A and B are shown apart, each in its own frame.
Chain A
Amino acid sequence: MVYAIIDYFCAKFLGAKFFDKELMMQVSNTIKTLLQLLILCFSLQSFAISDTEQEGTVSTKEQVDEYILHHLKDSHDFHLFSYSNDAGERKHVGFPLPVILWSNNGLATFMSSEFHHDDNGQVVVERNGSKFVKLHSKIYELDNGATSVSFDEEHHATNAHKVLDFSITKSVVGVLLVGLLMLLAFSSLAKQYGKKKIPTGFGRVLEPLVLYVRDEIARPNIGEKHYRKFTGYLLTVFFFIWILNLMGLTPFGFNVTGQIAVTACLAIFTLIIYTVSGNKDYWMHILWMPGVPVFVKPILAIIELAGAFIIKPFSLLVRLFANISAGHIVVMSLIAIMFTLKKSLGVVGATGLSLVLSFFITLIEVLVAFLQAYIFTALSALFIGMAVAEHDHEHEHDSHGHEVVDAEDVRGDFI
């Protein structure tokens, strides 16, 4: 039945554009495969979470909070789910990831499985004469002579210090995976243009998206003259964020765009690009705003400098981080209704409520995943456009000699 519905929509929306019957079939097949993957992901997600939060293991509010916070944080191993076996032992299913540390005694590498899922500093791993413990998802190096970690009243370690951690954590795996996927998908798309006029296979899904970013985001915001130079960056950042957002909705539990370090890094890229490519007029408008009284100019310069170097990148990074984190928290909290409301609503009632609510919120999250990628790209394009905009025309003046603000200046004012 799903096939019939998809066929209908494919025929309705794509039929007008693709006159070739064979082309249409290929496109509809690709969309079918994608949809099947999506449905599979959703069902697996609820399966994975219901498996993790077994009855009796996650029941109280504190445990739910802890579980959600644990999901939001980055981790050193790739944890899929846990269960308790018949003997009451806790078993964890997942795979370890490499830990790479730069300690006082130089480089130390080992697999995260050597910590045996310990997160309280109990298990000590020794490499190159340094001892390491894992404490609240951070790796500490014990001071000389210490054999185990000791705590003060506030549960801070007293005889251990942080080390430079270059580990391949779960988020790093996510970033590398998306990088690889994008490299494969887009290099094959690019190669196809050499041979034929139109791409085939999966490239046919990607081409309209690429054109959308170019024609709807890059061109109108940056301007006809300069947009080609920046389209590459905008495309990369758009697909990077979008695919990572969607991966966050799969049962693997990636929360990469919900890590503030990742979004900060993306915002810094945008900051560097619009700062470096800013032209004379841009710096003139920041440092010595034309058309205002002299005593206002320094004040405006301070505001504009703060806007260009702090507010713009900060708003970019916080928006993406907060949206994705909030989405994850909401989805996980709604799933946790299953356990928190079990007493008052009964098993069937609580499960049904949680299922319905989390299903619809997950659908909204799919929309948010796209919207946040779009907004990040559009605002990056807008900021770059403001930096490269050319004011080659003299500002218009009305009959009294006052300057008439043009549309571009007004657009810059509210940011």
Chain B
Amino acid sequence: MVTYNLIGAGLIVIGAGLGLGQIGGKAMEGIARQPEASGKIQTAMIIIAALLEGLAFGALFLGK
């Protein structure tokens, strides 16, 4: 069913959005607390965001 697929895709996007928001927000906080560590925080942030994204895309891909 197309509708169920779309609902599933919506749920995946909500979950991924919440996760990315957490990652981005916490990284911002971290950078605000310790601006001198911003480079390291950014790298870690991008890597974790990429892992999350991989998971979300994997789910979307399987649900297609």
Contacts and interface: CB of A to CB of B under 8 A. Distances in A.
B61 interface: yes
A379 interface: yes
A375 B43 CA distance: 10
Contact of A414 (B43, B51, B57, B58): B51
B25 to A, nearest CB: 18
Contacts of A331: none
A147 interface: no
A378 interface: yes
A314 B58 CA distance: 8
B18 interface: no
A319 B53 contact: yes
Contacts of A375: 46-47, 50
A323 B57 contact: yes
A379 B58 contact: no
Given A318-B57, A319-B57, A322-B61, A414 B48 contact: yes
Given A322-B60, A322-B61, A315 B54 contact: yes
Contacts of B11: none
A388 interface: no
A415 B55 CA distance: 11
Contacts, number: 37
Contacts of B48: 414
A217 to B, nearest CB: 9
Nearest to B47: A378
Among B50, B53, B54, B57, chain A packs the most CB atoms within 10 A around the CB of B54
A306 to B, nearest CB: 13
Contacts of B50: 319, 375, 378-379
Size bracket of the A interface? 10 to 19
A302 to B, nearest CB: 19
Contacts of B61: 318, 322
Contact of A316 (B46, B54, B55, B60): B54
A318 B46 contact: no
Interface in A363-402: 371, 374-375, 378-379, 382
Size bracket of the B interface? 10 to 19
A371 to B, nearest CB: 7
A415 B51 contact: yes
Contacts of A371: 46
Interface in A176-222: 216, 220
A99 B50 CA distance: 38
Interface in A309-332: 314-316, 318-319, 322-323
B60 A379 contact: no
B46 A374 contact: yes
A270 to B, nearest CB: 13
A216 B53 CA distance: 22
18 contacts: A216-B43, A220-B43, A314-B58, A315-B55, A315-B58, A318-B61, A319-B53, A322-B57, A371-B46, A374-B46, A375-B50, A378-B43, A378-B46, A378-B47, A378-B50, A379-B51, A382-B47, A414-B48
Given A216-B43, A378-B43, A378-B47, 14 more contacts: A315-B58, A318-B54, A318-B57, A318-B58, A319-B57, A322-B57, A322-B61, A375-B46, A375-B47, A378-B46, A379-B47, A379-B51, A382-B47, A414-B51
Q: Which 4 residue pairs across A and B have the least CB separation, nearest first? A: A315-B54, A322-B57, A319-B54, A375-B50
